Chain A
Amino acid sequence: MNNTTTDNTIVRTKGLSKTFMMGGQEVHALTNVNLEIKKGEFVVIMGPSGSGKTTLLTLIGCLDKPTKGKIYLGRKSLDVTEIPDAALYKIRRTNLGFIFQTFNLIPSLTAIENVELPMEGSSKSKIRKRRRERARDLLRLVDLPDRERHKPAQLSGGEQQRVAIARALANDPDIIIADEPTGNLDSETGASILNILRKLTTDKNHTVIVVTHDYNVAALADRKFLIRDGKLQKDKPPDAS
């Protein structure tokens, strides 16, 4: 079911809640989260450990279903909570790109093959047919044109994360979701990664949502969401602590 809006909203949650059962007890990871993210924004979600920020990310990323509430994604504000679990992969493939803290590249594939991977089942035939060419373009975008035949074990952490970024962009998604993208990198490498992510919003008009502890990352954000005990604090401008 769509909930069309006239503004540029790309992600909207309404009364979003998630409860887990742990050791026979209910754990309220998220409670009544309402937020809106506009197209092309670089948004950071911050909070202490166990605050629910990763849970919020996984719900927006359609990796899990909420216990209550709604999530609307994309320009057409598609209500993804109405889509069956088995069909959510299409949303992830078409609308979302993921970047993980531990890179999560497939070890047996080369850099270019990792980037090609999401394009395998793309509904856009143009992408599917030109995947090798597109993969090369994306590796050039992240400044890794000479490493396409290297496997992840032959790449540094920073290089692996760049490949992961290129992979996240494979199907030209509206939304890039990054879970602690600089968590396993040194500050200099992390800064270069952040630079790339920032450019995605300014040059390519992608929306980037980052979960992080890193205040340097937060400093680059257009908007910052704070979560504590599963509840969203009022979003703050990036220069607020």
Chain B
Amino acid sequence: MLTLKRAFKNVLRRRFRTLLVSLVLALCVAVFVSTIAGVDASKAATTEIMRQYEASSQATIEETEQLMSAIQITGGMGRGMGMGMQPPVGSADNPITDNYINESVTDAISAMDGVVGMVGSLTYTVGANTTSSSSGGGFMMRFSYDYMIRGATINSSLDGGYDAALPVNITEGRNLQEGDDNAVVIGEDLKDYFNAGVGDTVTIEGTGFKVVGVYSSNRSSFEEPVGGETPGDFPGGGNAVFQMEDKDVYMSLTTAQNLLNLQGEVSQLTVYASDSSAVDDLVATIQSAYPDLMVFAYKDMQSGFGDRIIQQQQSIISTTEENLSSVESLGFSITLVSAIIGVLLIFGLMFYTVRERTKEIGTLKALGFSNTSIMRQFMIEGLYVGIIGGAIGLAIAAVASSLLGSWLLNTSETLGTSVSVSVTVGTMLLGLGIAAIAGALGSLYPAWRASRVSPMEALRND
């Protein structure tokens, strides 16, 4: 007890020096504690990001798998009657026609083995127009239309929660719901055409419909090469420019069928196989049963899409883990350096103190103090300085840890998200413990040297 009291008094003997060393040590402790808090926050943020990402990733993977198991069926372009298909509508001069598949076909397909879901849609182009021009042996065709009626399944007849082919990005109002018999959702670009918005009534093919929502898909025109080996293609080849704008009028499938007097007809079927491995067989089965239909596996149209999605997911996870690893490594380096600086600080202080108090050490030995007790006293003094510095450092960290931790680890840039840094009680105790250990370690050698001083030589030292 007396040793503790005496050591404390000795520490306070040189107040300015002790305070100076303590402040620098405090800074080291503040950095140490803030870094640990920053790393903990990064881990927590990463865990949360990964949790959220895995949840959305799982949904994306499920959607991708759904898409990879999808088969698109259309009536084919320029085909004649047969198999329940009706004649094409639209202008007889317009080579782009909408062909339809009636319900006997849809019912038969939905009953095939391997089909787990099916969504039908009916499209009808209003005011379709194509212009062509030629020069230098090639040609250019431009397609445009006033708007397209899209009758969409709001709920699939087969369960499974499959995409009902409704617009995704509703910018005004709402999307179509079950029971919306006289309601439409129009594209952003049709607001001017119809001079109408949400709540207004628009006339579609002579029938009035209430606009319940507006969508936007940010599409633009694109060119597609046409020509080649398929019969009916244009000789010489060329480019077709599709002017894709938000010019669809969505309504329920039944409403569209009634409006266009095409009850039981669809222009496109999206059939979902039990899994992507069954798609090829199902395509073959459908095509074999209905050779006049155009049957495409979505996975063939989007080559490697599924793999790309999965690779993207894995890449993001891997990058996030790498970022956390970098933060942890950086954090470890910072804490190690700050701890080493702390030890060296105390070492310097105590080394100087021992030299300064050589005479006092000699006196203590003359008075009957053992080498061990002298070593213990100086180590306790070092420990006190460590604890004082640690306590001040914790006070700094409590106030500035958020700023220090985020700045040192640059976590907001590393993880692309803001990280909230706070110091826990456990981290504070660790910081104080490390400061005390730094005090003890730093004073170890100077204290040992003090114990080795010859009492006679010390007494001669002035």
Contacts and interface: CB of A to CB of B under 8 A. Distances in A.
B130 interface: no
Contact of B359 (A96, A104, A109, A121): A104
B6 A64 contact: no
Nearest to A58: B456
Interface in B342-394: 359-360, 363-371, 373
Contacts of B311: none
A64 B456 CA distance: 6
Given A107-B13, A109-B6, A63 B367 contact: no
Contact of B368 (A89, A106, A109, A116): A89
Interface in A103-118: 104, 106-109, 113, 116-118
A93 interface: yes
Contacts of B418: none
Contacts of B371: 86, 89
Given A63-B459, A116-B2, A106 B363 contact: yes
Chain B, interface SS category: helix
Contacts of B454: 64
Contacts of A89: 365, 368-371
Interface in A65-124: 86, 89-90, 92-94, 96, 98, 100, 102, 104, 106-109, 113, 116-118, 120-121
A108 B10 contact: yes
A108 B364 CA distance: 13
Nearest to B10: A108
Contacts of A100: 363, 459
Contact of A121 (B12, B13, B363, B370): B370
Interface string B37-59: 00000000000000000000000
Contacts, number: 69
A118 B367 contact: yes
A231 to B, nearest CB: 21
B264 interface: no
Given A100-B363, A116-B2, A108 B370 contact: no
B421 to A, nearest CB: 41
B10 A117 contact: no
A47 interface: no
Q: How large is the interface on B (under 10, 10 to 19, 20 to 34, 35 or more residues)?
A: 20 to 34
A171 B368 contact: yes
Contacts of A179: 459
B12 A92 contact: no
A87 to B, nearest CB: 8
Contacts of A109: 6, 9
Contact of B367 (A58, A113, A117): A117
A61 interface: yes
Contacts of B12: 108
The residue in A63, A64, A109, A167 that gathers the most chain B C-beta atoms within 10 A of its C-beta is A63
B366 A63 contact: yes
B314 to A, nearest CB: 66
B2 A120 contact: yes
Contacts of B363: 98, 100, 104, 106
Nearest to A106: B360
B366 A61 contact: yes
Given A106-B363, A120-B3, A121-B373, A90 B368 contact: yes
B6 A121 contact: no
A196 to B, nearest CB: 19
Nearest to B371: A86
B13 A108 contact: yes
Interface of A: 58, 61, 63-64, 86, 89-90, 92-94, 96, 98, 100, 102, 104, 106-109, 113, 116-118, 120-121, 167, 171, 179
30 contacts: A58-B456, A58-B459, A63-B366, A64-B456, A86-B370, A89-B368, A89-B370, A92-B365, A92-B366, A92-B368, A93-B367, A93-B368, A96-B368, A98-B363, A98-B366, A100-B363, A104-B359, A106-B6, A106-B360, A107-B13, A108-B6, A108-B9, A108-B12, A109-B9, A113-B6, A116-B2, A120-B2, A121-B368, A167-B367, A179-B459
The 7 closest A-B pairs by CB, nearest first: A93-B368, A108-B9, A104-B363, A64-B456, A63-B456, A108-B13, A118-B367
